[in-house]
Structure 1
Amino acid sequence: MTSKLFLNIAKNFRRFRKETSGAVSVEWVVLTSAIAGLGMAAAASVFTGSGSVAEASSTQLMETVDAVADDQS
């Protein structure tokens, strides 16, 4: 009984090892998650950088408006 069970398990394992259709699905999942991760990293970088650019632009604009207002008075 045990040897028959072992042979059945070995047969199923060999058949599983030869099957490659699941490998393609795994590769697509890995590639898709890598692309999504890179996209999120790029978005975070742009979001962080755009905040500091907007703050610097706002400061410069306010200084320019104040200088123009002082010149007119």
Structure 2
Amino acid sequence: MSGDFCSPKCDSRDACPKDMPTGASADPECALRTASGNKYCALLCMSDSDCGQGLCQHILGTGICTYSTETGDLSTLQ
């Protein structure tokens, strides 16, 4: 999978921040887990149109919005 994606840590209720890149309508979900059990958020998508200026890249049937580092969309999120 190429591109970058924003993946903040899920909070204690498995909730994710709601701020998203411009034009994105994907759902922020606590969808990623490391081998050590830490949980992280991702923008889950069905198609590129869910990601604003990004791409919806599918891994094992699940789409995750990814962004070119050239767009600068992710650098403005906290």
Q: TM-score range by the shorter chain?
A: under 0.3
Larger radius of gyration: 1
Identify the structure with the greater strand proportion: 2
Q: TM-score, normalised by structure 1?
A: 0.14
Larger relative contact order (Cα-Cα within 8 Å, sequence gap ≥ 6): 2
